[in-house]
Each structure stands twice: as C-alpha cells, then as structure tokens.
Amino acid sequence: MTTERIAELEAQHEELVFASFDHNDAWRLGSAITAAALTAGHRVAIDIRRPGLVLFRAALAGTTPDQEAWIGAKAQTVFRMESSSALVAERFAESGLQPAAMGWLPFPEYALAGGSVPVRVTGAGVVAAVTASGLSSDDDHALVVAGLRELLAVG
C-alpha cells in the first residue's frame, strides 16, 4: 500500500501548484476548508501560514491545545522537506527509517503525520503550508487537499 500511496501523494504534489497565492487566497482557502469541516461535523483546527506569519487560523468546537502542537509540527515538516507531511511520513515508512530515533525530525518540532500540505507557486516554490489537525492523518490530509483543489478550480 505504501508504494501506491506515495505515487498518489506525489501526483498531488505535482497537481497542487498555483500561479500566485496571497493573503486573500489564504482567507478564501481557510474559509472553504472551515466550511467543509463544519458541514461534516469535524472537530478540527485549520491553519495557513508562511514561516513566521499565520495567515489564517480556525479552531472548531472540540479541538484541544494538542492541535496547536500538531499543526506547528506538521507545518515545520512541510517547510523543511518541501513536501506534504503525509508524503514525508510515507517515504520514511517505506524506507524503514525512523528519523526521530536518529535525532532527526524530532517531535514536537516536526511531525511525520498527514495533514499539512505545501502551497506551491510556479517559479517560487513553497510559499505557505496549509494544515489541519484533529482527524486521522489521512482525513486531515484529505480535508486540506480538497480545499486546495477547490481554490485551484475557482482560480
């Protein structure tokens, strides 16, 4: 399953590229993800950030301070590895390596769990990370990807 999942995540990585991304886009994206989470009854926190600057934040009913730690750790993984936290986790799982055991990518600074996806802009690379926390790793990831696809579709 891991090889197929890696291929799926790599395809998403290539698909989810924007021509531009600004503060207004972050608001639209965060609002769309939040609306989807509310409709589904999810207890989730949503965060969109650039390094050093939070562009959007929502914490829905039922979230806890733990989500804050997970959001920061997942986003740091995206910024360090320039890939979704799910893709990084799957690549390490496939390799059999445990980076935290080697003193590399330790929690709580980093998290090898799905739920944070880079915002990539053509010609600029990774400009932000969109993160959800509160569901399973796969569901956090899927929620973010659905929002990114929606924003790409409407332009």
pLDDT score at 1 = 57
What's the gap between Cα 9 and its chain centre?
12
Among candidates 78, 82, 152, 79, which has minimal Cα distance to 115? Answer: 78
Q: Phi and psi dihedrals of 17, rounded to 5?
A: -125, 130
Q: What is the pTM of this model?
A: 0.95
pLDDT of residue 98: 84
Residue 84 near residue 12 (C-beta atoms within 8 A) = yes
Low-confidence ranges of the chain (pLDDT < 50): none
Alpha-carbon distance of 155 to 135, in angstroms, equals: 28
What b-and-e string marks burial along 116-134, b requiring 16 or more CB atoms within 10 Å of the CB?
bbbbbbeeeebbbbbbbbb
Whole-number pLDDT of residue 2: 83
CATH number of the domain encompassing residue 89: 3.30.450.150
Closest CA to 68 of 85, 86, 45, 50: 45
What's the confidence (pLDDT) of residue 92?
92
| E strand or H helix at 6 | helix 2-15
Domain enclosing residue 78, as ranges: 2-154
Dist. CA 105–CA 128, nearest whole Å? 19
Q: What is the pLDDT of residue 100?
A: 76
Please write the tens of the pLDDT for every residue from 48-70.
999 999 999 999 999 999 999 99
**Structural domains of the chain, count:** 1
CA distance 128 to 16: 12
